[in-house]
Structure 1
Amino acid sequence: MGKRFENKVVVITGAGGVLCNAFAAAFAEEGAKVALLDINEEAVMQNARMLTEKGCTAKGYKADVLDQESLKQTRERVNADLGTCDILINGAGGNNKRATTDNEFHDFDLPEDTKTFFDLDKSGFEFVFNLNFLGTVIPTQVFAADMMGKKGANIINISSMNAFTPLTKIPAYSGAKAAVSNLTQWLAVYFSKTGIRCNAIAPGFLVSNQNRALLFDADGKPTARTEKILRNTPMGRFGEADELLGGLFFLADEQQSSFVNGVILPIDGGFSAYSGV
């Protein structure tokens, strides 16, 4: 019996990061030919090299998900190196401190140096929204052009718990991920006659380099925010990157999910199901 994604071409944006690199490795080990895209050229080349050393088919490309012309050139290189895209995973995204408040609730007695909603930088909002939302739109415009009519073609976006209920302190990121979920449903309808399915996963709380400072102090002790997260996650722990793979593979596998379209799949330890009471 062949590997699950034998000879499928999987394009993954944000593959210089820990999470999307784990996605790339998992697909490569299942026989896919994986294109790892990221603006961080050094990281993505190293990640691709590690996969090829294991005997997998993988290639890294420096790519800016907000630069359409650059992405079109990358697509041509991917097509020449690996073939046209079968599965697109829009993994590029993230938050920025310029769009993050210090306080969860506004109060009249806040310390003078508190960064409130009124102090947030417009450019911070633009950066976060563009990276997450347009960083999903533009790669889809570029790579989906080659996917139409291909059997098993599908797009998987990365949403978030923020998309269901916004988390405190991070209004731009919450809004952007809600937009990604909405776009996922829109694309599912738009491409429904072309054979392309579009779904998303919505990860719960995982520890990454991006959020580590929010979750643990300088001594490695859990912050008050971590305590809140774990208290409101019925399974009582953070998730692991590998625990996203089952949902990701399910959505990507045409044999298992050929009639699944426009779904935002929570993988969150029960967080989205719990009212806190």
Structure 2
Amino acid sequence: MVETATQAGKKSPEGRMAGKVAVVTGGRGDLGSATARLLADHGATVASLDRAGTPAVGVHPRITEYDVDVTDESSVMETIRTLEAKHGSTDVLVNAAGIIGPAGASHTATVDDFNVIFDVNVKGVWLMTKHIVPGMIRQESGSIINFSSIHGLTGGRNVPLYHATKGAVRLLSKSDAAAYGAHGIRVNSIHPGSMNTRMSRRSAEQSDIGAEAYYKQLVGGNPLPRQGEPDEIAYGVLYLASDESRFTTGSELVIDGGYTAV
């Protein structure tokens, strides 16, 4: 009997990532750690990568922590060599590492500001892809999920360099989807809106209008007038990482409470 696409996609929830090896950068941040845990809960063997000195959120039997500087090619190469020696080729790469950088119009930023944010948000995504893709090509399969943002889709006054980096990630994802599709590799971007994270809470606490007014200003006009939770992003990544999305590449998954709809 020939298995149909529908039958092939019918997996038990516990098996959605069974047998897969996943690498998650920014794995000790709120969104990265939620993603790593969910992939592991669904059967993946997960390597959580983040900067040295960044504390891990918790312990999971299928998650191993690694220190890496995604802006340093030698650090990336050494880590991937270690991972491939231990687990074989990577099935799923989630590029979740990212920073916002200082607020202010373009003319107020420094060259150092520019270099730091582009190094982490763009160069880091490219380096991880550059060194993991060869293994995916060898096995003729793989899924890469790059964290962009709603600010990779829209403009804004406060953090133009951040917008520029996330727009670059969006188009790098599309270009890589076009380049690697013939090798069975899918590349998609995910675009979170305002999220309930430590970074967001710090911004609210430092706001000169008070936390309540800050959040009302931030998400009050959304069709769903609240912040998202990290696991709501993680479930989007789970879909793109799993075989359920095997005909999805070069796409943008926007999870923003409707921010970009109004």
Q: TM-score, normalised by structure 2?
A: 0.88
1:1-277 to structure 2, matched below 5 A, reads 1=12, 3-41=15-53, 43-44=55-56, 47=58, 50-52=59-61, 57-97=62-102, 100-101=103-104, 117-150=106-139, 152-217=141-206, 221-222=210-211, 224-254=213-243, 256-274=244-262
- Percent identical among aligned pairs is 31
Contact 1:216 1:223 in 2 (8 A): no
Deviation digits for residues 112-141 of structure 1 (CA, Å, limit 9, x no counterpart): xxxx54332221121112210111000000
The structure with the greater share of residues assigned to helix is 2
Contact 1:35 1:59 in 2 (8 A): yes
Deviation digits for residues 237-275 of structure 1 (CA, Å, limit 9, x no counterpart): 000011113321221112x2111110011001111111x
Deviation digits for residues 130-166 of structure 1 (CA, Å, limit 9, x no counterpart): 2101110000001111111536511000010101112
State the SS of the aligned residue for 1:215. Answer: helix
State the SS of the aligned residue for 1:244. Answer: helix
Runs (4+) of structure 1 moved beyond 6 Å? Answer: none
TM-superposed deviation, 1:211: 2.9
Aligned residues: 250
Give the Cα separation in 1 of the matches to 2:54 and 2:108: 35
Unaligned runs of 5+ in 1: 102-115
Q: TM-score, normalised by structure 1?
A: 0.84
Unaligned runs of 5+ in 2: 1-11
Structure with the greater alpha carbon radius of gyration:
1
Deviation digits for residues 89-132 of structure 1 (CA, Å, limit 9, x no counterpart): 001111122xx12xxxxxxxxxxxxxx54332221121112210
Contact 1:189 1:262 in 2 (8 A): yes
Give the partner amino acid of 1:271.
Y
